[in-house]
Structure 1
């Protein structure tokens, strides 16, 4: 069944036969033998475990959804998607920190090219430069610390690397910027606003998960130092999550609001990974996969609204889906998954993450903070849902029923993985 959906999608796609063959070859050859094994070896430098398997599966699924989008230069777009899939496969299955880092940065170049080619505003150049500068600033200390430990960069034995506090900070910094966490997040809303829908979907669903994936891989380095810094990291994560939920409420741009909600989820993942406990790791994995499909779906549906109203403003788009019940239902699923609420896998991820944090410190202050964060992080998703479906739409918007079968199918394809995985979440154990 795992390969039935993509094969059906490839049959329906209006791309060349070569592209279809390339995508199917990548998926079958490099992902077929990965599941239900502790560690699987592809070649001498490419290894994979269940974490690699599920993150790459998420990438394959999102790229197949993206092929449906109609773009100006289909042949260039198809080649870009294929290159992205190859780079992501090399990133998730490389077992060397330097190789992982190189592939990790090269995948950002593809996203930059998508933003610059299919973006529609001149400000996209400024957003791309901002992203490049942030990447360079966080990458240089990381490169220096890797050069200091050049002999032991294998991820298999990474827990035996002895790093000092500065090297540990540089490792954390480069992945915190990609997740992103507060203070290193400024590039994300700007890039989301300027990028086309396919750029936003890739960025939110796959590239933000590269930071989480890298952090999971290197979190076992210097566990003594990690345990000393845990209280600082947890305090930072709790407060910044609360501040970000407040920032979500004051947004008028729909894309920016979804981008800030991604930062909220990723900060929770950051806190869970840093605890380095089994439940916390499971929770972070659930959020990664659930948020990957949910945020891409939110960006796709916000693009449908933009096509109708020619605006991303929440006020102008109010009541957009009130006349189309199918679109309202899809938007409801997306917003409630972002909230998170059952039956989405996100709710299990946040439950495990918060439970691990309470096990770490069950003080009254922590319980109050957790309750406040859970409440406020649900509120902006509920607000985002009802403003689009329960308000009076503007008379200036004439074409509000453009939710055709293609849009419906793509929206359903974002929702299906979240619900199916929640039926049997043990599949995602890492």
Structure 2
């Protein structure tokens, strides 16, 4: 019986829509079911999905009166029937599934309606705005239209159902969560090579306002090919922040806190303080490089860039603070030596060494602390503050100032991106 039904197509061109000769458009209803999101890549700004495509259209020549609800058409007989020439404008790669047999199916119904199913894997371009990374939200689009026929010949419509675009609820993505999806129509005008302009003897073609080049045998120009019926499905994606908190934010906070240990070491602990400062700076630099290794080289500043740069500034400032403290204490020690002493007495009963001119003025203990001897405090109370004392005061000030400044930055940073970033609505073009 199927053979008898398909025999009605003898003499018809399977390359054109059913109503092509009548100058009437063929309406094609479309629906898609996303079975899985295979990957979402920020580096290449694309995403890969596996989906089931469903199209329904009417071909009056295939009506039948048999008492059969529908006929199933095998892949060989499908070649005799016109199938919409879908084209995905923002597609990078596409492939049919052909395991065991081609994963496509067609049914013919008594009123001449055809229902076509195909399973596809496609990689689509998705321009992303990474200014709020990793607090960003992305909107990725899937577009499809007829490649060879404009809207006067083929009209694509979303299926008249509540969910023409549906997603498998079991999908689990490592970094993103699909929060919403929607469908709409879009119009596409694209350039094509037009008809010769009449001067076939010329061997050049022109792109108006752009360039001229050689084209053997005819003259042609790129012209508007008209509006093509276009459908677009958009997927709203929200990045999961938990991974980045554990792998990026908490380690960088700990590195900054470790750099503050330098303020509790004595001024004379040169080796320990410089090793701690250099180590934290290098660690912070390595972590920042690792974060950006998997991201595209965009021309704007991302949220993670602000965080990493600020943390690097804090650990670098701690290293600079030690350099200032060390210079102050070292210069004072040299100044005291230049004053000269007639004698350097033995250690006192407390294990301290006295540095004097003619009388004992200052006592410097083995830890680098400086004080006047007890019996000289009243006599020399007018003496200026020494460089070592200034260095110690700077350490004490840094113990308080650095944590408060870092807490202030954290408050501003998290409020800005969690509140402002949540209110920012992304667009499908990634801008």
TM-score (norm 1): 0.23
TM-score (norm 2): 0.23
Larger Rg belongs to? 2
Larger relative strand fraction: 2
